[in-house]
Amino acid sequence: MVELYPPKAAPVQIPVRQDLLPVEQVERICISVNTICNLGCDYCYFFHPENRVEKEKPLSADEIFVILKNALEYHRHYRFDKKIKINFVGSGEPLIHWRNIRDGVQLLVEAYPNQESLKFYTVTNATLVTEQIAEDMLALNIVPSVSIDGPRAIHDKHRLDHNGKGSFDAAMLGIEILRRRGFDVAINTTLTMDLLNQLDEYVEFIKQQEFTKVIFDRLVDTPEHVEALSYAQYYQFLQDIKTKFDLAGLTRVEIGNLEAYRRNFAGKPDKVCTMFGGSCGAGSNFVIYMGREVYPCGRMFGQSKWLLGSINDPIDSFPKKMAKHWPERQDCKTCQVASDCVRDCLLEYHTKDYSCDPRKDFLTTMKGVL
């Protein structure tokens, strides 16, 4: 059983030379502990043939500790105001190797009992949640969110196990266990055409289950048999879902994507990803450890030109290597929504038919509404 730790003491303040501060902070780090999953979701871009991630040895507790230690020392060295969010998620189901995660975080807490630099999260399909895992999460302050695509009819359309059986019931049981431990469970919903066509059913599900926070992940890099949403459809959806939530009396349910844009409008953006957030921070504000390799974004895994480094490299080396990849966009310098946009998706920008018009229209429409 994981034990709770003693009260935190005030951190020692060490002056930092301003000329040594990096241009931007790495504010979120995802750690993909493994490359296996107990589900076989048919839209998963990590496992379809065109993009398949290979099975590799999972990160050990000691390796996870190295990543966390590097992140903590990076944050302390530069004395950033914003804590770094560590999210155990990626190209596999993290709870398959929960002991490695638990023990890695515990090693950090034992070595740095008063640390206030890192906050821990995990995104799980929840089918492997047990009472003990929920207790461990609570003790180590690891906040879980669960991948749920809506009611059974929507969820089980794509989120199947390897025998073709739906995962809805097992996921809802996992949510129940987490709630019994006191977690207010947020859900991550993959935005598919099926969901788009059944929004009323989805809204009713949110209402019945009394969820208080939803984050929508735009479906990308899909296999050929799965239809993905366009950029324009995604931004229209964000407006539509807010309207439907308001009409259903769900005004207190936080839509994480829209909350991210509120921060953009307030001049305090989280530069992470436009797929589920407000702006892109690939490599400069966000990195993902795909096992022992580090990439700017999970969609860039396995591509040598995007490789930023490895598990032992200092965190501040990644934004330096990423700097050459960001284009000098002249159109952004004269754009009326540039300050609210902050930065559009780097991968979208490199697509053949890229246009930022849907994003512009969304920002223009929603400013003053959010």
CA distance 331 to 37: 42
At residue 92 the predicted structure's pLDDT band, cuts being 50, 70 and 90, is confident
Q: Shortest CA distance to 101 belongs to which of 62, 139, 129? A: 62
Give the rounded distance of the alpha carbon of 198 from its chain centre: 25
Average pLDDT estimate for 217-221: 85
In the chain the first and final C-alpha atoms are separated, in Å, by 43
Structure tokens at 2: 């994981």
For β-strands 279-280 and 271-272, DSSP reports them as parallel
| Domain assignments of the chain as residue spans, ordered by start | 23-366
pLDDT at 223: 77
Q: Shortest CA distance to 218 belongs to which of 243, 189, 198, 240? A: 189
Is the per-residue pLDDT at 126 higher than 80?
A: yes
Task: Judge whether 321 and 309 are in contact, CB under 8 Å.
Answer: yes
Q: Shortest CA distance to 35 belongs to which of 272, 306, 311, 302? A: 302
Residue range 267-308, pLDDT digits in tens: 999 999 998 899 999 999 999 999 999 999 988 988 899 999
**Does 3.20.20.70 match the CATH number of domain 23-366?**
yes
Structure tokens at 270: 């989280």
Residue range 130-159, pLDDT digits in tens: 999 999 999 999 999 999 999 999 999 999
CA distance 370 to 112: 39
